[in-house]
Structure 1
Amino acid sequence: FPVEISLSPLETADGLLVSAAVRDVSERKAAEARITELAALVESSQDAILAKTLDGRITYWNTAAQRLYGYTSEEAVGQHVSLLATPERKDEITQLLERLRQGEKIEHFETLRVTSTGAMLDVDVTLWPTRDAVGTVVGACAIVRDVSDRKRAEAELTELYRQQKHIALTLQRSLMGTPPAIPGLAAASRYRPATQGAGVGGDWFDLIPLGAGRVGILIGDVMGRGLEAASVMGQLRSAAHALAKTGMQPRQLMQALDAVVDDLDVPDQLVTCCYLVIAPDAGSVTLCSAGHLPTLVATPGDGVRRLPAPVNAPLGVGDILYQQSSAAIPPGAALVLYTDGLVETPGSDIEYQIDKLTTVLDDAFKLSGGLEEAADRVLAALLPDSDGHDDDVTLLLAQLPAAPLDIARTELPATASAVSAGRSFVVETLAAWGCAHRADDVRLLVSEVLTNAVQHAEGPVALHLRRTASELAVEVSDLSPQLPQPRLATQDEESGRGLVLVDTLADSWGVRPEEQGKTIWFAVRL
Structure 2
Amino acid sequence: MASVEALRGTAGKQELFRGLVESAQDAILIKTLDGRITFWNGAAQRLYGYGASEVVGRHIGLLIPPDLKDEEAELLERIGRGERIEHYETRRATSDGRVLDVDVSLWPIRNRRGTISAACSTTRDITGRKKAERELAELYAQQRHIALALRLMGTSEQIPGARAATRYLPSTQGQGVGGDWLDLIDLGAGRVGVIIGDVMGRGLDAAVVMGQLRSAARALALAGTPPCELIQTLDTFTRGLPEQFVTCTYLEADPAQGEVTACSAGHLPVWLVAPDATVSALPVPTGIPLGVGGVPHQEVRLPLRAGTTLVLYTDGLVETPYSDIDAQLDLLTTTLAKVFAGAEGLEDAADQIMHAILPDTAAYSDDVTLLLVGFPTALLDTATADLAGEASSVPEGRHFLLRTLRTWGLATLADTALLLASELLTNAVCHARGPLTLRVWYSPRELGVEVTDRSTTPRPRARIADDAEESGRGLMLVEALADAWGTRAETVGKTVWFTLLTASVHTAATALTG
Common fold: TM-score over 0.5:
yes
Query: Are residue 347 (structure 1) and residue 322 (structure 2) matched?
Result: yes
Query: Are residue 482 (structure 1) and residue 461 (structure 2) matched?
Result: no
Measured after TM superposition, the shift of residue 116 of structure 1 is 6.8
The match for 2:142 among 150, 153, 163 is 163
Report the Cα distance in structure 1 between the residues aligned to 2:82 and 2:467, rounded to whole angstroms: 104
Are the aligned partners of 2:35 and 2:60 in contact in 1 as well (CA < 8 Å)?
yes
Measured after TM superposition, the shift of residue 158 of structure 1 is 2.4
Are the aligned partners of 1:283 and 1:403 in contact in 2 as well (CA < 8 Å)?
no
The match for 2:483 among 490, 504, 507 is 507
Report the Cα distance in structure 2 between the residues aligned to 1:506 and 1:92, rounded to whole angstroms: 73
The residue number in structure 1 matching 2:509 is none
**Equivalences for residues 269-284 of structure 1 within 5 A:** 269-284=244-259
The residue number in structure 2 matching 1:181 is 158
The residue number in structure 2 matching 1:9 is none
Report the Cα distance in structure 2 between the residues aligned to 1:490 and 1:148, rounded to whole angstroms: 75
Structure 2 CA distance for partners of 1:162 and 1:492, relative to 1, 3 Å: closer
Measured after TM superposition, the shift of residue 130 of structure 1 is 2.8
The residue number in structure 2 matching 1:316 is 291
Report the Cα distance in structure 1 between the residues aligned to 2:88 and 2:10, rounded to whole angstroms: 32
Structure 2 CA distance for partners of 1:488 and 1:50, relative to 1, 3 Å: closer
Report the Cα distance in structure 2 between the residues aligned to 1:228 and 1:138, rounded to whole angstroms: 58
Q: Which has the larger radius of gyration?
A: 1
The residue number in structure 1 matching 2:368 is 393
The residue number in structure 1 matching 2:270 is 295
Aligned AA for 2:137? T
1:275-314, Cα deviation, whole Å (9 max, x unpaired): 1111111122111111111112222223333222112111
**Equivalences for residues 222-237 of structure 1 within 5 A:** 222-237=199-214
Report the Cα distance in structure 2 between the residues aligned to 1:128 and 1:454, rounded to whole angstroms: 95
Report the Cα distance in structure 1 between the residues aligned to 2:354 and 2:53, rounded to whole angstroms: 63
Structure 2 CA distance for partners of 1:42 and 1:375, relative to 1, 3 Å: same
Measured after TM superposition, the shift of residue 156 of structure 1 is 3.4
1:466-504, Cα deviation, whole Å (9 max, x unpaired): 011121101112222223433454555554333333333
Deviates more, 1:292-301 or 1:485-494: 485-494
Are the aligned partners of 1:361 and 1:378 in contact in 2 as well (CA < 8 Å)?
yes
Structure 2 CA distance for partners of 1:63 and 1:183, relative to 1, 3 Å: same
Structure 2 CA distance for partners of 1:225 and 1:70, relative to 1, 3 Å: closer
Are the aligned partners of 1:507 and 1:525 in contact in 2 as well (CA < 8 Å)?
yes
Are the aligned partners of 2:277 and 2:341 in contact in 1 as well (CA < 8 Å)?
no
Measured after TM superposition, the shift of residue 398 of structure 1 is 1.6
Deviates more, 1:55-64 or 1:23-32: 23-32
The residue number in structure 1 matching 2:108 is 129
The residue number in structure 2 matching 1:145 is 124
Deviates more, 1:415-424 or 1:464-473: 415-424
The match for 1:245 among 222, 233, 240 is 222
The residue number in structure 1 matching 2:507 is none
The residue number in structure 2 matching 1:201 is 178
TM-score by length of 1: 0.85
Aligned AA for 1:342? L
The residue number in structure 2 matching 1:20 is none
1:426-467, Cα deviation, whole Å (9 max, x unpaired): 111111111112222222222222233334433332111101
Structure 2 CA distance for partners of 1:135 and 1:332, relative to 1, 3 Å: same
Aligned AA for 1:222? V
Measured after TM superposition, the shift of residue 342 of structure 1 is 1.8
Aligned AA for 2:401? V
Please state whether the residue corresponding to 1:292 is helix, strand or coil.
coil
Report the Cα distance in structure 2 between the residues aligned to 1:216 and 1:244, rounded to whole angstroms: 7
Aligned AA for 2:195? L
Are the aligned partners of 2:83 and 2:108 in contact in 1 as well (CA < 8 Å)?
yes
Please state whether the residue corresponding to 1:224 is helix, strand or coil.
strand
Structure 2 CA distance for partners of 1:172 and 1:53, relative to 1, 3 Å: same
Report the Cα distance in structure 2 between the residues aligned to 1:149 and 1:275, rounded to whole angstroms: 50
Aligned AA for 1:261? T
Structure 2 CA distance for partners of 1:351 and 1:454, relative to 1, 3 Å: same
The match for 1:38 among 9, 14, 17 is 17
Please state whether the residue corresponding to 1:348 is helix, strand or coil.
coil
Structure 2 CA distance for partners of 1:32 and 1:375, relative to 1, 3 Å: same
Measured after TM superposition, the shift of residue 399 of structure 1 is 1.6
Are the aligned partners of 1:110 and 1:123 in contact in 2 as well (CA < 8 Å)?
yes
Structure 2 CA distance for partners of 1:477 and 1:138, relative to 1, 3 Å: same
Aligned AA for 1:408? A
Please state whether the residue corresponding to 2:263 is helix, strand or coil.
strand
Measured after TM superposition, the shift of residue 56 of structure 1 is 4.9
Are the aligned partners of 2:196 and 2:248 in contact in 1 as well (CA < 8 Å)?
yes
Measured after TM superposition, the shift of residue 215 of structure 1 is 1.0
Query: Are residue 520 (structure 1) and residue 478 (structure 2) matched?
Result: no
Aligned AA for 2:157? P
Report the Cα distance in structure 2 between the residues aligned to 1:139 and 1:433, rounded to whole angstroms: 94
Measured after TM superposition, the shift of residue 405 of structure 1 is 4.5
Are the aligned partners of 1:423 and 1:446 in contact in 2 as well (CA < 8 Å)?
yes
Residue ranges of structure 1 left out of the alignment (5+ in a row): 5-22
Identity rate of aligned residues, in percent? 55
Report the Cα distance in structure 2 between the residues aligned to 1:37 and 1:376, rounded to whole angstroms: 67
Report the Cα distance in structure 2 between the residues aligned to 1:489 and 1:244, rounded to whole angstroms: 28
Report the Cα distance in structure 2 between the residues aligned to 1:267 and 1:307, rounded to whole angstroms: 32
Report the Cα distance in structure 1 between the residues aligned to 2:225 and 2:132, rounded to whole angstroms: 54
The residue number in structure 2 matching 1:406 is 381
**Alignment root-mean-square deviation, CA:** 2.9
Query: Are residue 379 (structure 1) and residue 358 (structure 2) matched?
Result: no
Report the Cα distance in structure 1 between the residues aligned to 2:96 and 2:204, rounded to whole angstroms: 48
TM-score by length of 2: 0.87
Measured after TM superposition, the shift of residue 515 of structure 1 is 0.9
Report the Cα distance in structure 2 between the residues aligned to 1:214 and 1:182, rounded to whole angstroms: 9
Deviates more, 1:163-172 or 1:428-437: 163-172
1:294-340, Cα deviation, whole Å (9 max, x unpaired): 11222222333322211211111112222122332233322121111
Measured after TM superposition, the shift of residue 197 of structure 1 is 1.6
Residue ranges of structure 2 left out of the alignment (5+ in a row): 503-514
Aligned AA for 1:223? M
Measured after TM superposition, the shift of residue 416 of structure 1 is 3.1
Aligned AA for 1:255? Q
Aligned AA for 1:467? Y
Report the Cα distance in structure 1 between the residues aligned to 2:480 and 2:94, rounded to whole angstroms: 81
Query: Are residue 337 (structure 1) and residue 312 (structure 2) matched?
Result: yes
